[in-house]
């Protein structure tokens, strides 16, 4: 008997190569996943201007950071935004200023979709073959109330679906140029947590954030969907080197450990040299 439902994920229409240049922008869930990519030698930039929860703030980061990654991952947390009353501008961080300086608003489905598309087009102007993966954070917002949090997530899911469908339309029915390498896709991190891992053992102590085990599982599903054969081969060689580099010896000043460390660093250098050509993609 099967005691859980597996979220089916179609193979991606592109593949992520070893050492690929990537940009992760969004909620703390984006930080968790992005840091894993950075640890595994992808050239990953993770929330360069801080954690961003809503589509407007994701756009602001993309505009400000100036990056032109091969692959970008946007993780949406909420459709709630805070607008500074004095200027009318949506702020990315209230910086602990008094609450009465801000007006809280909820972005509509169309608003969210518009901010996302604008962020995608900024990246596309910098690099025509950029690939963008959209996700919705599974972390619920207790401060809104659980029903209101679910409404927020629903708005984001509908906005993401609108964007993905819009880019998937035939070129003759849109004003979007057809680029074979350009792609916008959705990865169901939200559904995996809500349905596949619907047990509190997959949550951290606050019962809201995914546990390390859950994040690791999502990473594995992501790898199955998007990693190329070369990336899988690279990781198979890198992971034992990574474990060795993270080893904490009883006697770090010993000759044996010095030799072990030199041998491990040499293996790392040789591996990076072996895959150096992928840094030019």
Options 3.40.50.1110, 1.10.1740.10, 3.90.76.10, 3.40.640.10; CATH of 21-227: 3.40.50.1110
Q: What pLDDT does residue 95 have? A: 80
pLDDT at 174: 47
Q: How far apart are CA 203 and CA 190, in angstroms?
A: 13
Domain ranges of the chain: 21-227, 237-280
For tokens 């474990």, name the residue.
243
Structure token pair of residue 146? 């659980």
Can you read off the two tokens belonging to residue 58?
């994701």
Give me the numbers of helices (H) and strands (E) for the chain, helices first please: 8, 8
So what's the pLDDT on residue 169? 66
pLDDT of residue 113: 98
**Tokens standing for residue 193:** 């947590």
Report CA 131 to chain centroid distance, whole Å: 12
Contact 17, 207 (CB under 8 A): no
Task: Using pLDDT thresholds of 50, 70 and 90, give the confidence band for residue 250.
Answer: confident
Distance CA 30, CA 15 (A): 19
Q: pLDDT (tens digit, 9 = 90+) per residue, 255-276?
A: 988 999 999 999 999 999 999 9
Structure tokens, 79: 């459709």
pTM beyond 0.75, yes or no: yes
Average pLDDT over residues 224-253: 94
Average pLDDT over residues 12-21: 95
Comparing 8-22, 37-51, 116-130, 192-206, the range with the smallest average pLDDT is 192-206
Q: Of 58, 121, 64, which is closest to residue 92 (Cα–Cα)?
A: 58
The pLDDT of 229-248, averaged and rounded, is: 95
- Pairing state between β 21-26 and 183-186: unpaired
Mean pLDDT for the stretch of residues 143-155:
92
How many whole angstroms separate alpha carbon 164 and alpha carbon 187?
Answer: 11
Is 20:278 a contact under the CB 8 Å cutoff? Answer: yes
Considering the chain, what is the average pLDDT of its residues? 92
């Amino acid at each position: 008997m099967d005691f859980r439902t597996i979220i089916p994920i179609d193979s991606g229409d592109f593949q992520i190569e070893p050492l690929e240049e990537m940009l992760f922008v969004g909620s703390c869930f984006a930080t968790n996943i992005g840091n894993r990519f950075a640890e595994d030698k992808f050239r990953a930039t993770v929330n360069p201007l801080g954690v961003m929860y809503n589509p407007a703030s994701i756009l602001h980061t993309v505009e400000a950071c100036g990056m032109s990654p091969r692959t970008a991952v946007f993780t949406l947390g909420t459709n709630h935004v805070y607008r500074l009353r004095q200027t009318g501008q949506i702020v990315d961080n209230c910086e602990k200023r008094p609450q009465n300086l801000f007006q809280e608003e909820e972005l509509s489905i169309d608003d969210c979709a518009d901010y996302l598309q604008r962020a995608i087009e900024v990246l596309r102007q910098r690099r025509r073959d950029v690939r963008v993966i959209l996700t919705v954070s599974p972390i619920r917002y207790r401060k809104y109330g659980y029903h209101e949090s679910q409404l927020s997530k629903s708005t984001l899911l509908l906005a993401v679906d609108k964007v993905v469908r819009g880019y998937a339309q035939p070129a003759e029915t849109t004003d979007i140029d057809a680029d074979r390498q350009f792609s916008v896709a959705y990865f169901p991190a939200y559904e995996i947590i809500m349905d596949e891992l619907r047990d509190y053992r997959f949550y951290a102590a606050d019962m809201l954030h995914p546990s390390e085990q859950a994040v690791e599982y999502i990473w594995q599903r992501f790898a199955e969907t998007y990693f190329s054969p070369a990336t899988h081969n690279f990781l198979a060689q890198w992971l034992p080197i990574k474990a060795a580099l993270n080893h904490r010896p009883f006697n770090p000043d010993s000759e044996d450990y010095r030799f072990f460390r030199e041998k491990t660093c040499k293996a790392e250098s040789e591996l990076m040299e072996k895959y150096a050509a992928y840094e030019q993609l």
